[in-house]
Amino acid sequence: MKRVGIVLLVSALVLSLGAGAALAADTIKIGYLAALTGDWAAYGQTEEKTAQLAVDEINAKGGLLGKQVELVVYDFRTRAEDAVNAVRRLAEEDKVVGIVGANGSGINIATAPLVNRYGIPQIGTVSTNPFVTVDKNGKVRPYSFRVCFTDPYQGKLIAYFSAKELGKMQAAILYDVGSDYSQGLREFFMKSYGEYGGEVVADLGFRAGQDVDFRAQLTEIRDKKADVLILPNMGKEMALIMKQARELGMDDIVFVGGDGYAEFMWEIAGDSMENSYWINHVSPDDPAMAKFFADYKAKYNDECKEFVNGILGYDAMYLMFDAIQRAGEADPKLIAKALSETKDLQLHHAVITMDEFHNPLDKDGIIIVAKDGHGQFYMKIKPE
Amino acid sequence: METLLQQTINGLSLGSVYALIAVGYSLVYSILLFSNFAHGGFLVIGGYICYFTLKSLGFNIWIAGFASLVGAGFSAVLTERLAYKPIRERTNVTLYLLIASMGMSIVIENIFVIVAGGRFRALPPVIPTHPVHIFGLATTSAFDILSLLAAVFFLGALQLFLIKTKWGLAIRAAAYDLRTAGLMGVNVNLLISIVFFVAGFLAAVGGIFLSVRYTLYPQLGMITIKAFVAAVIGGLGSLPGAVVGSLILGLAEMLTAGFISSQLRDLVVFSLLIITLLVRPQGLFGKNISEKV
Amino acid sequence: MSGYTEGIIILLCINAIAAMGVSVLTGFTGIFSLGHAGYMAVGAYTTAILTVEYGVHYIPAILLGGAMAMVIAYVIGVPTLKLMGDYYAIASIGLGEAIRLILENWQSVTRGARGYPGIEGYTTLYVSLAFFAVMAFGMFNLINSRFGRAFKACRDDYIAASLLGFNTARYRILSLVISAFYCGVAGALLGGFLSFIQPIMFDMIKSTELTSVVVFGGLGSMSGTLLGASIITLVTELFRPISQYRMLIYGAILVLIMVIRPEGIMGQYELGPRLFRRLKDKFSFRNRDNSEGRSS
């Protein structure tokens, strides 16, 4: 019994190694880092699917530079130490020309020194922390890019929208202490909101994962008479917060959230979602994205409910395709150069121009309003 | 004053959900003397069975709930047979069982990651969650009252089972001394299976309530860590202890978050755990253990 | 050597150092901890702050990181190590989480959950190998010394050991402090490997991973611990192409090894002539395992 087990284990190891080496045809390989297991699995799995969709589309059109594109996806189980070795493997074993992902700023910051040493461009999908593309001295990292906007910009958008568009000046904020994304947005929101003349009357935290009950914090927010509740969190937590807030009879408070909005929140929060506002990169009813949603459904027989990750992953792939096309050959250094020169590129969800810090320049903030059971386009904003 | 009342109600309703999970933990601990970290997995299994029988097969909540409770119960028995029985037959080191249970919790979580995907799912609103006003002083949701009632009902039923039935007597005897109970003619393997069935069954009740209230996803089992802390505070192996510990923990969490600092909520939970262990390691209701092992 | 192999070896060294730390506590002194990632975090943050803010050279900084973990372990250990068996294990969950919570909330120093960027990438292949070699040498000497025997005495029979005049409480604390040093150094090396640390890297999953490695390799066997750390690190790495199934396999292996060979791969034996003598007489080897009763 024991020996059989060991033999099986060893042969499985050998097989898996062999399988990795056998796929060495003449293709252009693009690596993808996605959390397929662990807490972010829902988002990572969607990104994997949409990235594959983009690859299939480009291959159907004849590929890039006359070659087929091959996607190499590695899981990093939400751990940075796993991600850095995935990047090493992508660079050295798979010889990818570029890497897309990961869906988490911390992972991108940890892999940034590595991709810059290898000279392989990496495009973060939803990695909003400023340090993803610049080092701690504010110097740009030549091979690190992102397709989303940054925390300071998004924080400012949320503040601008709440104060100037909605005219709500008494904000409460409920953020995830354990999440870099949430802490970052909170910090930059508070800064901008103050500048717009708003006052944060309640600044409360929770911890995702173990905390699923927010009524204690909500009760306090109710007592502080806040007129808007800022939610810089992930979809599940925001949905739960809204549902519990309405259960506590907080009927008047307006919810304004960040790009963690996802369509699955309707399943959780139901009617509590109605009339909440979401600062986002793209709206799910954007006509330009209709084909994407239809193709996704046709290919996977499933709705793309984590659409922010899905669309950003999809368009990050197209951003990479465009750079490879313009570079003229599958050389990582030329691709990185082409990426940094990206100008007025029409992607599916937005027009992208890379600024000097490798962030998309002045991307419009899209406001989604939750109405009649789904997220709808409300307005575009560009803060003063 | 109003706020205090509100936070107390919030705390009790949170505590009642912890209690359903903590009791299962405690029950297994009382017999096998190890902390079953796969317990959260049973809860997830229960939640998913309920979800799929409701959504894909279109049954009503009663059938789905029944399928889920029984299904989770049998998965718990299966887990015990596959992973724990071979170990407990070979050695009396409970540490190995603990590690195996951690392995099982990883296995269960990732089976669902692969089969069902990582997406957050919500059960259809089979349990009402509309706000209920209590004498105009506080507001709670109908759900909380129901979960409190369900907790009382199932825990009461468990108590009756333990006191009134022959197997209940056997379980209580085994909790006192498993070996001797075996020598007295109790079928130990069957007894342990029954215990796991009950634990899985109760976990699924918690699982359904949690997935209605807090969504269903493969890592939902993680929140059982709080229930586990509650079981320890109440005294591992003691059922009333598990209930009281859960209520204390629910209240402590809500009152800390409401009156001290929401950021420190978990710190208070874990300090409570450590203080309990230092001052009274057997917990509030635990058996007085001479060697504290 | 390719950078990929290099990366695996560095991670292997880091995991092995941390696992040795947990092993001396769990395998040799019989204290089961589920919170050692907390000490890794202390080491990582201390070293990061010393190198980044104060410009300390990385070698003293790493050692100071380990020392800081020792101090914290001592402060925590004196009151809590009175607890025995499962009860300490439970308390350690709370202790590990509490350390992480403090790191998340103490934003002025640790920058909270957003993480600590810009750490110099000092953990090169040679640095990690050197640290591993020195610390492994130290560890093997320790477990064969008077202290090692005292630890085992505490593990095997606590009461008999104290009757024999061992100050068991002191040895238990000593063991914890040493293990915290190893984990602190491992954490510091991890910080240098990633150039970036976040509290979430040192969560309970990391702690249980460490303890699993030790049990997997064999409680009371230092070479088993090293073997366990290597196997677990390599398994997760080799199964990378089948990404989604990786964690499932990891969990299944953990259960399987407990079911098939609960005493771990190496049992209590070290790699060496003694093991080979035992392997020759395989039959009695098996019998020995089955009658083993090293419970606490």
C248 with B106: Cβ contact below 8 A: yes
- CA B189/CA B195 separation, integer angstroms: 10
Domain contains B80: yes
- The Cα diameter of chain B in Å comes to 60
CA distance A127 to chain C (A): 12
- Residue B221 Cα, gap to closest chain C Cα (Å): 13
Residue A175 near residue A229, CB atoms below 8 Å: no
d(CA B20, CA A89): 45
pLDDT at C279: 64
Shortest Cα–Cα distance, A47 to chain B (Å): 12
Average pLDDT over every residue of A362-382: 86
d(CA B181, CA B175): 9
For chain C, list the contacting chains (3+ Cβ pairs, <8 Å): A, B
Task: Decide if pLDDT at B135 tops 60.
Answer: yes
- Per-residue pLDDT at A17: 46
Asked whether B182 and B32 are in contact (CB, 8 A), the reply is no
Residue B247 covered by a domain: no
With a cut of 70, say whether residue A286 has pLDDT above it. yes
Report the alpha-carbon distance of residue C75 to residue C291 in Å, rounded: 38
Instruction: Give the residue with greater pLDDT, B179 vs B48.
Output: B48
Distance from CA of B83 to the nearest CA of C (A): 6
CA-based nearest residue to A361, from A370, A351, A371: A351
Q: Is the pLDDT of residue B12 over 60?
A: yes
Domain membership of residue B258 (yes or no) is: no
Tell me the pairing of strands A365-371 and A351-352.
Answer: unpaired
Over range A142-166, report the average pLDDT: 91
CB contact under 8 A, B119 and A264: yes
Strand partners, B139: B133
Residue range(s) defining the domain that contains residue B37: 20-121+128-222
CB atoms within 10 A of CB C94: 26
Encoded amino acid at B147, one letter: S
Structure tokens at A366: 């899209």
**A227's tokens:** 């007129």
- Kindly state whether A118 is in contact with chain C, defined as any CB-CB distance less than 8 angstroms: yes
Q: Which residue of B has its CA nearest to A222?
A: B3
**Above 90 in pLDDT, residue B240?**
no
- CB-nearest to B273 from C94, C258, C263 is C94
Q: Which of C258, C259, C138, C120 is nearest to C195 (CA)?
A: C120
Instruction: Please provide the DSSP assignment of B45-91 as one string.
Output: HHHHHHHHHHHTS---HHHHHHHHHHHHHHHHHHHIIIIIHHHHHH-
From chain B, the residues in CB contact with C32 under 8 A are 95, 98
In sequence order, the 6+-apart residues with CB closer than 8 A to the CB of A267 are B120, B121, B122, B215
Q: What is the pLDDT of residue B31?
A: 82
What tens digit of pLDDT does each residue of A230-276 get? Answer: 999 988 889 889 988 888 888 889 999 988 888 888 888 888 888 89
CA gap C216, A322 in Å, rounded: 48
Residues 40-79 (C) with a CB less than 8 A from some CB of B: 79
User: CA B180: distance to chain centroid?
Assistant: 28
Closest approach of A171 to chain B, Cα-based (Å): 17
**Chains adjacent to B (≥3 CB pairs closer than 8 angstroms):** A, C
B146 vs B150: CA distance, rounded Å: 6
Residue C148: which region, alpha, beta or left (left: phi > 0; alpha: psi -120 to 50)? alpha
Which tokens in the block code for residue C120?
């110099």
Other Cβ atoms less than 10 A from the Cβ of B265: the count is: 27
Cα C38 to Cα A27: distance, rounded to the nearest angstrom:
45
Lowest-pLDDT range of A4-8, A144-148, B189-193, B233-237: A4-8
B-chain residues within 8 Å CB-CB of C262? 87, 90-91, 93, 96
Q: Say which amino acid occupies B29.
A: Y
Mutate one of C157, C242, C254, C291 to test the B interface: name it (highest B CB count within 10 A): C254
Cβ atoms < 10 Å from Cβ of A164: 15
**pLDDT tens profile B207-232:** 888 888 778 888 888 878 888 888 88
Could you give the count of Cα atoms lying within 13 Å of C91 in the half-sphere of its Cβ?
Answer: 24
Tens of pLDDT, residues A95-123:
999 999 888 888 999 899 899 989 999 99
Select the residue of C101, C114, C196 nearest A110 (Cβ to Cβ). C196
The beta-carbon neighbor of C261 closest among A2, A86, A113 is: A2
Least confident among A46-55, A321-330, B252-261, C126-135? B252-261
Q: Look at chain B and report how many structural domains it folds into.
A: 1
ipTM of model: 0.81
Residue C294 confidence (pLDDT): 42
- Chain B contacts in chain A segment 215-254 (CB below 8 A): 215-217, 219-220, 223, 235-236, 239-240, 243-244, 246-249
| B195: helix, strand or coil | helix
The span from the CA of A168 to the CA of A275, in Å, is 14
Distance from C-alpha of B230 to C-alpha of B242, rounded to nearest angstrom: 6
B24 within 8 A of B204, measured Cβ to Cβ = no
**Both structure tokens of C254:** 């953990």
Query: For A327-351, what is the mean pLDDT?
Result: 90
Among A38, A44, A211, beta carbon nearest to B265 = A211
Query: In this structure, which amino acid lies at residue B276?
Result: T
Task: Say if the Cβ atoms of B99 and C254 lie within 8 Å.
Answer: yes
- SS3 label, residue A339: helix
Phi first, then psi: what are they for C138, rounded to 5°? -60, -40
- How far apart CA C185 and CA C41 sit, in angstroms, is 10
For residue C129, what pLDDT is reported?
93
Mean pLDDT check: name the lowest of A64-73, A200-209, A328-337, C155-164: C155-164
Cα(C258)–Cα(A311) distance, integer angstroms: 44
Q: Which residues in chain A have Cβ-Cβ distances shorter than 8 Å to B139?
A: 247-249
Helix axis angle for C58-80 and C168-194, nearest 10°, is 140
Q: Which residues in A lie closer than 8 A to residue C261 (C-beta atoms)?
A: 2
> Do residues B34 and B166 touch, judged by C-beta distance below 8 A?
no
Cβ proximity of B41 and B108 under 8 Å? yes
Give residue A47's pLDDT. Answer: 92
Mutate to test the interface with B, among A179, A214, A215, A300 (most CBs of B within 10 A): A215
Domains identified in chain A and CATH numbers: 26-148+288-352 (3.40.50.2300), 151-280+365-381 (3.40.50.2300)
Chain A (294-333) residues lying within 8 Å, Cβ to Cβ, of chain B: 305-306
Judge whether A206 and A178 are in contact, CB under 8 Å: no
Whether the predicted pLDDT of B253 surpasses 90:
no
Yes or no: is domain C3-290 CATH 1.10.3470? Answer: yes
Least Cα distance to B129 among B286, B264, B13 occurs for B13
Q: What is the reported pLDDT for B188?
A: 86
Q: Which of B45, B33, B37, B43 is nearest to B104 (CA)?
A: B37
Residue C292, judged by CB atoms within 10 A of its CB (0-12, 13-18, 19+), counts as: middle
Residue B47 to residues B92, B123, B157: CA-CA distances in angstroms? 33, 9, 21
CA distances from A353 to A124, C43, C262 (A): 15, 42, 59
B110/C90 touch (CB, cutoff 8 Å), yes or no? no
If you measure CA to CA, which chain A residue comes closest to C119? A136
Question: Is B34 within the bounds of a domain?
Answer: yes
Interface membership of C91 toward B (CB under 8 Å): yes
Q: Does residue A209 belong to the interface with chain B, where contact is any CB pair within 8 Å? A: yes
User: Between β-strands B138-141 and B131-134, what pairing exists: parallel, antiparallel or unpaired?
Assistant: antiparallel
- C85 reaches B (C-beta below 8 A): yes
| Nearest CB to C195; choose among A20, A89, A110 | A110
Q: Nearest CA to B128 among C167, C283, C231, A271?
A: A271
Judge contact between B199 and B129, C-beta under 8 A. no
Per residue in C124-162, pLDDT (tens digit) is 899 999 999 999 999 988 888 888 888 888 888 778 888
CA-nearest of B231, B228, B225, B226 to B285 is B231
CA distance A65 to A334: 14
Q: Does a structural domain hold residue B72? A: yes
Amino acid type, A292: F
DSSP B219: G
Least confident range of A137-146, A169-178, B23-32, C192-201: B23-32
Which of A184-188, B81-85, B196-200, B265-269 has the lowest average pLDDT? B265-269
Residue B136 lies in a domain: yes
CB contact under 8 A, B34 and C248: no
Can the peptide bond before residue A83 be classed as cis, meaning omega within 30 degrees of 0?
A: no
Q: Which two tokens stand for residue C100?
A: 């992480």
A353-357, B137-141, C178-182: least confidently modelled range: B137-141
A134 HSE (CA, 13 A, CB side): 14
Residue/partner pairs of C124-129 with CB below 8 Å, 24 or more apart: C124/C10, C125/C1, C125/C6, C125/C9, C125/C10, C127/C58, C127/C189, C127/C192, C128/C9, C128/C10, C128/C13, C128/C14, C128/C189, C128/C193, C129/C9, C129/C13
On whether the CB atoms of residues C193 and C121 are closer than 8 A, the answer is yes
Measured between CB atoms, does A208 come within 8 Å of chain B? no
Contacts with C200 from chain A: Cβ below 8 Å: 106, 178, 180
A67 vs B34: which has the higher pLDDT? A67
pLDDT at residue A25, as a whole number: 53
Cβ distance B92 to C295 less than 8 Å, yes or no, reads yes
From CA A54, how far away is CA C169, in angstroms rounded?
62
- Of the candidates C10, C4, C38, C78, the residue with the CA atom closest to the CA atom of residue C208: C38
* CB half-sphere exposure, A88, CA atoms < 13 A: 21
Say if strands A254-257 and A277-280 run parallel, antiparallel, or are unpaired: parallel
Q: How far is C243 from chain A (nearest CA, A)?
A: 5
Distance, CA of A349 to CA of A340 (rounded, Å): 19
What dihedral do alpha carbons A46, A48, A49, A53 form, nearest 10°? 130
pLDDT (0 to 100) of residue C133: 93
A2: pLDDT confidence band, cut at 50, 70 and 90? Answer: very low
**Over the stretch B112-123, which tens digit does the pLDDT of each residue have?**
888 887 788 877
Return the SS3 of A172. Answer: strand
> What's chain A's average pLDDT?
86
Is C147 strand, coil or helix? helix
In total, the C-beta contacts within 8 angstroms joining chain B to chain C are 142
| Residue B280 placed within a domain | no
CB B84 within 8 A of CB B97: yes
Reduced to 3 states (helix: H, G, I; strand: E, B; else coil), residue B275 is: helix
Q: Does residue A1 have a pLDDT over 60?
A: no
DSSP states of A239-298: HHHHHHHHHTT--SPEEEE-TT--TTHHHHHGGGGTT-EEEES--TT-GGGHHHHHHHHH
Residue B282 lies in a domain: no
Judged against a pLDDT cut of 60, whether residue A8 lies above it is answered with no
Q: Which residues of A touch C2 (CB under 8 A)?
A: 92-93
Per-residue pLDDT of chain C (296 residues; tens, 9 = 90+): 678 888 889 999 999 999 999 999 988 888 888 889 999 999 999 999 999 989 889 999 999 999 999 999 999 888 888 877 777 888 888 888 889 888 888 888 888 888 888 888 888 899 999 999 999 999 988 888 888 888 888 888 778 888 887 788 888 899 999 999 999 999 999 999 988 898 888 988 888 888 888 888 888 888 888 998 998 888 888 888 877 788 888 888 888 888 888 777 777 777 766 666 666 665 454 444 444 444 43
Tokens 């793309």 sit on residue? A304
